[in-house]
């Protein structure tokens, strides 16, 4: 298969083939101020149908799809990127932290274990540096005076573009020195604070919060106050989580540029609803659609299309597990569009096999899975949808959106799913939160969501996969796993060696 590389560059003169812009207007208007914008990109064509524009919504939190990418400054890591999660003094951190510092500066480790490697850097923050302005990158000075007011945080006052700025001396009126505040890992989206960072601790309804919370919201979205006292100031924003993958959104947009319409296949990059795929490649439906428009080269006959080589070594891919299900005394491990079959813990799995070969009416790529024998059958989750397989036929009359389970789950990204037979509950895990759904009563727990650690102490967030085996509950994250009996932690170890028979 021949590949034509895209060239993206600034053009001082002449007519480009496609214009790419980040903007908050041109079709993104009219969104309520307290909601994160749902439209992530638009493709516009002029009246003549010749000039194309791809517009990316500037109000979205753009990332690689797995959290904010943070490049450090100073420290001893030579500008390396933060590694999340990382361990410091035996505690796991999923964001930059002030822990261990008396100066209040946010920092992170650049490996997964600071205690072992001692590599770190400082995260972008106004207490470290500013950008632009006329202060040559000097940090903010708080408090500072501007006009007749005193400021203890960055402000947008005096600016029509709503950019956050600060003085770099204690009196802007006399010194006129300022800079723009960098976006930090605590920067919010949506809300009414203009991207101001979270302020911890903050007060809300008589309680003090040291982390983002979903308190007061029925949709489970995490938010924070951007001042110390929400009760009086009413300033807030949504906490950023995994973000929207710029790569996947761009590929979707370029698909429209090439003439592809939306596709009803949830595994297609042209599916109209965003869904993150860790190991992305074009689906067969996408390739067929492109070949229908542009034809097939002679060396690429339709009857034997070139397929990517399937992954063969589960040990190399063990840190990228998407889902696990215990099925008929076998453990099924899903990675990308393939699965492996573990017949006995500690023995190398059989595989890989294509998911579509065993579950042809299901998703081509599985995001999460849960199994409950006769109670629920096998549930497969992908792209905001759910497939249910019952009986030996492996046929499903689904998919249906997971929002049908109740409450507003349209924004839920299912990291892992687990059916607990003794509780008769389906658990859906997303980041630091979980939802309980009673499959027999077809009812969501009215208190959902709740924090994962409230139900399973000592269990970290952002779980990759979960399953029940032999009456025990297993949770997998990266190469490690935790075993619970009910809510009691019984064991933790290395999944790759204990279950997959790989070397650590």
Known binding residues for Ca(2+): 322, 324, 369, 417, 464
Phi, psi of 453 (to 5 degrees): -70, -15
Q: Are 35 and 1 in contact (CB under 8 A)?
A: no
Annotated binding site for Zn(2+): 252, 256, 262, 270
Measured CA to CA, the distance from residue 338 to residue 332 in angstroms comes to 10
Q: Is 219 helix (H, G, I), strand (E, B) or coil?
A: coil
Q: Is 233 helix (H, G, I), strand (E, B) or coil?
A: helix
CA distances, 55 to each of 19, 43, 481 (Å) = 8, 6, 42
Q: Is 174 helix (H, G, I), strand (E, B) or coil?
A: helix
Pairing of strands 120-122, 144-146: unpaired
Measured CA to CA, the distance from residue 334 to residue 323 in angstroms comes to 5
Annotated binding site: 252, 256, 262, 270, 322, 324, 369, 417, 464
Phi, psi of 154 (to 5 degrees): -60, 155
Residue 451: half-sphere exposure toward Cβ, Cα within 13 Å: 12
Measured CA to CA, the distance from residue 19 to residue 26 in angstroms comes to 14
Residues found in the chain: 504
Q: Please, what is the end-to-end C-alpha distance for the chain in angstroms?
A: 37
**CB neighbours (10 Å) of residue 273?**
12
Measured CA to CA, the distance from residue 193 to residue 495 in angstroms comes to 43
Who's near 103: CB < 8 A, 6+ residues apart?
none
Q: Does the CA dihedral 382-385-388-392 come out positive or negative?
A: negative
SS (H, E, C) 101-146: CCCCCCEEECCCEHHHHCCEEECCCCCCCCECCCCCCCCCCCCEEE
Query: Exposed, middle or buried, 299 (CB in 10 Å: 0-12/13-18/19+)?
Result: exposed
Q: 163 is written with which tokens?
A: 């950019």
Pairing of strands 62-63, 244-245: parallel
Question: Assign residue 205 a region: left if phi > 0, alpha if psi is -120 to 50, beta otherwise?
Answer: left
Query: Exposed, middle or buried, 136 (CB in 10 Å: 0-12/13-18/19+)?
Result: exposed
**Type and span of the H or E element at 189:** strand 188-189
Phi, psi of 116 (to 5 degrees): -90, -45
Measured CA to CA, the distance from residue 85 to residue 309 in angstroms comes to 31
């Amino acid at each position: 298969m021949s590949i034509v590389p895209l060239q993206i560059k600034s053009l001082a003169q002449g007519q480009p083939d496609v214009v790419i812009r980040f903007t908050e207007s041109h079709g993104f208007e009219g969104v309520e101020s307290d909601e994160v914008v749902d439209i992530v990109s638009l493709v516009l064509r002029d009246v003549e149908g010749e000039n194309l524009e791809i517009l990316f919504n500037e109000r979205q939190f753009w990332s690689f799809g797995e959290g904010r990418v943070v490049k450090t400054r100073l420290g001893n890591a030579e500008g390396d990127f933060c590694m999340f999660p990382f361990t410091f003094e035996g505690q796991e951190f999923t964001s930059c932290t002030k822990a261990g510092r008396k100066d209040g500066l946010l920092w992170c480790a650049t490996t997964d274990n600071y205690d072992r490697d001692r590599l770190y850097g400082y995260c972008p923050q106004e207490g470290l540096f500013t950008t632009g302005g006329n202060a040559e990158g000097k940090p903010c000075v708080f408090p500072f005076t501007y006009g007749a007011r005193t400021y203890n945080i960055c402000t947008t006052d005096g600016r029509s573009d709503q950019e956050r700025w600060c003085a770099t001396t204690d009196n802007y009126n006399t010194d006129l020195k300022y800079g723009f505040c960098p976006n930090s890992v605590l920067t919010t989206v949506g809300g009414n604070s203009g991207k101001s960072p979270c302020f911890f601790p903050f007060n809300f309804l008589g309680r003090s919060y040291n982390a983002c919370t979903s308190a007061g919201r029925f949709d489970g979205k995490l938010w924070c106050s951007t001042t110390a006292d929400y009760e009086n100031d009413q300033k807030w924003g949504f906490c950023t989580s995994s973000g929207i993958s710029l790569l996947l959104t761009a590929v979707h947009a370029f698909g429209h540029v090439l003439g592809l319409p939306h596709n009803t296949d949830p595994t297609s990059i042209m599916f109209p609803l965003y869904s993150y795929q860790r190991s992305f490649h074009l689906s067969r439906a996408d390739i067929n659609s492109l070949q229908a428009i542009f034809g097939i080269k002679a060396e690429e006959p339709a009857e034997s299309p070139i397929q990517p080589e399937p992954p063969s070594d589960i040990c190399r891919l063990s840190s990228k597990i998407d889902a696990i299900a215990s099925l008929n005394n076998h453990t099924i491990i899903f990675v990308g569009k393939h699965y492996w079959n573990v017949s006995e813990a500690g023995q190398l799995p059989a595989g890989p096999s294509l998911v579509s070969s065993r579950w042809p009416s299901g998703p081509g790529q599985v995001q999460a899975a849960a199994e409950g024998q006769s109670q629920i059958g096998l549930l497969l989750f992908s792209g905001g949808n759910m497939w249910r397989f019952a009986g030996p036929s492996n046929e499903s009359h689904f998919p249906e959106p997971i929002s049908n389970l109740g409450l507003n789950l349209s924004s839920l990204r299912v990291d892992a799913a687990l059916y607990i037979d003794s509780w008769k509950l389906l658990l859906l895990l997303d980041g630091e939160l979980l939802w309980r759904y009673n499959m027999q009563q077809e009812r969501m727990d009215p208190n959902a969501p709740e924090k994962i650690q409230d139900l399973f102490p000592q269990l970290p967030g952002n779980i990759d996969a979960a399953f029940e085996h032999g009456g025990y509950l297993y949770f997998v994250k990266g190469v490690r796993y935790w075993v619970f009996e009910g809510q009691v932690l019984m064991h933790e170890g290395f999944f790759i060696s204990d279950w997959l028979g790989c070397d650590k």
